[in-house]
A = this chain, B = another copy of it.
Amino acid sequence: MTTTRQIVLASQPQAAPLASDFTMAEAELPPLADGELLVRVHVLSLDPYLLSRIRGRHMSGDAPDIGETVPSEGVGEVLESRADGFVPGDFVLGVVGWQEHAVLDGKVARKIDASIRPLSLHLGVCGMPGLTAYASAHHLAKATDGDRVLVSSAAGPVGGTVGQLARIMGADKVVGIAGGPEKCALVKSDYGFDDCVDYKADGWQDRVAAALPDGISYYHDNVGGELLETALANLSLYGRVVLCGLASQYSLDHRPAGPNPGIYIGKRAQLLGLVVYDFMHEIDDYAAKAAAWIADGKLSYVEDRADGLDAAPALFEKLGQGSNIGKTVVQLVPEERA
């Protein structure tokens, strides 16, 4: 029997979650059944989609009940294996939840290349957020020479990577949208975007237009709402819009209406809905590519990291308020960093 510390839901958040919606608990993990793995969790991922999932409004699954952990993904080291293809010492990625040890089903755990370090990369730029960006820029928008790119949530791991990948693929100009001067500064300094517009500042819509005076040929949308409307107003003819996230409505109780379809017709726009799960079969190839770009200095990442399981609720509250910067991770087992 393995006992684990875990953080569980203490009350259902009514809007954006608060740290006080969670409480520390201790649980006995069940003995391993055939096909299962026991892992020690090294690093946890706190993702924006969990903000809607814990309110029962995300396609990835049901909301956790009171007393259950938040179903975060994380990277863990296999301590014990009753699943074919896994041995102690392997590193795997799976839905471990907010706890120090977890039992995973070997059928859905994914072995990772632990030579790509720090391990948190597998949760960010080399993992699902990075693959999301790659699916947008490479597979859907097919970013190419001369593109004029606008990216919302540009300080986040998806948006920040979209802009950098578009640049690698030949884009002429890459502009981000982010909330606040601190995030905007980072988008330019760390991710190397040409410009970044603070959507919390007055007149931001005019600044978007001014930053891309020849129009937007590719917009990556993580937000919806007014940002999408503004991007469409500035879209070039035949512009591509990848719809990837709806941060503007994750904390709403209703689904607001969207843009009038007339704008899509007038712009001859191409709108493409993106769900990263469709691309998971190529995650290993992508991770190797991204690691090489990082090593070559072509791809940068930023993490909002806290140490120790106890730090998770406050960091999650910060994510829900949009005041995180970069990929949000909780490091449970210390790790050397370059």
Q: How far is the CA of A273 from the CA of B272 in the complex (A)?
A: 12
Which residues on B sit within 8 Å (CB–CB) of A278?
268
By the criterion CB–CB under 8 Å, are B259 and A257 in contact? yes
Partner among B245, B257, B265, B274 whose Cβ is within 8 Å of the Cβ of A274: B265
User: Is A275 a contact of B271 with CB atoms below 8 Å?
Assistant: no
Instruction: Determine whether A59 belongs to the interface, using a CB cutoff of 8 Å to chain B.
Output: yes
A58 CB to nearest chain B CB (Å): 10
Contact residue among B245, B260, B261, B274 (Cβ-Cβ distance under 8 Å from A221): B261
Choice from B59, B221, B256 contacting A266 with Cβ under 8 Å: B59
What are 30 of the A-B contact pairs (CB < 8 Å)? Answer: A59-B266, A224-B260, A228-B261, A243-B264, A245-B265, A246-B261, A246-B265, A249-B260, A257-B258, A257-B259, A257-B260, A258-B258, A258-B259, A258-B260, A258-B261, A264-B271, A264-B273, A265-B274, A265-B275, A266-B275, A268-B272, A268-B273, A268-B274, A268-B275, A269-B272, A270-B270, A270-B271, A270-B272, A271-B271, A271-B272
Cβ of A267 within 8 Å of any chain B Cβ, yes or no, is yes
| Chain A interface size, under 10 / 10 to 19 / 20 to 34 / 35 or more | 20 to 34
In the complex formed, the residue of B with least CB distance to A264 is: B273
Residues of B within 8 A of A264 (CB): 243, 271, 273
Complex contacts, A224 vs chain B, CB 8 Å: 260-262
A268 CB contacts on chain B under 8 angstroms:
272-275, 278
Interface check A255, CB cutoff 8 A: yes
- Which residues from chain B contact A275 at a C-beta distance below 8 Å? 265-266, 268
Q: Is A104 an interface residue (CB 8 A)?
A: no
**Residue A244 is within 8 A (CB to CB) of chain B in the complex:** yes
Which of A221, A258, A270, A273 is the most central at the interface, judged by chain B CB atoms within 10 Å of its CB?
A273
Q: Cβ of A255 and Cβ of B265 under 8 Å apart? A: no
- Chain A 221-262, CB-CB to B under 8 Å as 1, else 0, gives 100100010000000000000011110010000011111111
Compute how far the CA of A269 lies from the CA of B261 in the bound complex, rounded to whole angstroms: 14
Interchain CB contact (< 8 A) of A260 among B256, B260, B261, B272 = B256
User: Min CB distance, A154 to chain B, in Å?
Assistant: 18
Task: Give the docked Cα–Cα distance between A256 and B256 (Å).
Answer: 13
Say whether A271 contacts B274, CB under 8 Å: no
Instruction: Report how far A176 CA is from B267 CA in the complex, Å.
Output: 26
- Contact call B274/A262, Cβ cutoff below 8 A: no
